[in-house]
């Protein structure tokens, strides 16, 4: 099995055009960049109305394992909330309205140089809810797209009252009866 060699660059456009090098692991990317790196996936280039148009424009990069096409809902559309129905063996009702307009974007996975400018750095949702002023719409959309981050590192799991760790295998938790 061969490892995927991801580009090392300051942003997604540079990862496509002229990366500093390619690396499979963070340690290798550190050697290429000479400074801290972060693995990320960012959109790049224009949006296309159809998948075929995007494939025509990005025929070369999409064949690589670090670039893929992604369909995204265009901003500014009002999508009404839908309540579950639980009727006729279906949980959700058949959509009555037309589907939202979408566009296809190229998503590039690469090792981003940590000191490079990031498009939008958003606060955690918990902090934004407790803030005195509400964040703007673009910040809310960016917060919805970012992965969840923990407040603090996860603590080791606690074992129950009737569980023990055997001395010869402390990585196993066994019931004690």
**pTM of this prediction?**
0.59
Instruction: Compute the C-alpha angle 150/151/157, nearest 5°.
Output: 70
What pLDDT is recorded for position 140? 79
pLDDT for 149: 63
CA 107, chain centre distance (Å): 10
Place of tokens 């670039």: 67
* pLDDT in 10s for each residue of the chain, 177 residues: 478 899 999 999 999 999 999 999 999 999 999 988 989 999 998 999 999 999 999 888 887 889 999 999 888 887 778 888 888 888 888 776 778 889 999 999 999 998 756 555 666 777 777 888 888 877 777 777 776 666 677 666 677 778 888 889 888 888 887
Looking at residue 110, what is its pLDDT?
Answer: 95
């Amino acid at each position: 099995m061969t490892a995927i060699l991801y580009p090392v660059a300051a942003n997604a456009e540079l990862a496509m055009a002229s990366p500093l090098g390619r690396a499979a692991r963070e340690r290798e990317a550190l050697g290429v960049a000479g400074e801290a790196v972060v693995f990320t996936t960012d959109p790049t280039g224009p949006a296309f109305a159809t998948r075929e148009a995007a494939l025509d424009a990005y025929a070369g990069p999409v064949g690589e394992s670090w670039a893929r096409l992604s369909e995204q809902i265009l901003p500014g559309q009002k999508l009404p909330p839908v309540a579950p129905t639980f009727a006729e063996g279906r949980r959700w009702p058949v959509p009555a309205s037309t589907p939202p307009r979408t566009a296809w974007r190229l998503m590039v996975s690469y090792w981003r140089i940590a000191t490079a400018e990031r498009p939008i750095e958003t606060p955690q949702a918990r902090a934004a809810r407790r803030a005195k002023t509400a964040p703007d719409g673009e910040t809310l959309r960016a917060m919805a797209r970012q992965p969840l981050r923990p407040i603090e590192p996860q603590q080791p799991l606690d074992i129950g009252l009737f569980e023990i760790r055997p001395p010869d295998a402390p990585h196993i938790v066994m019931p004690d009866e």
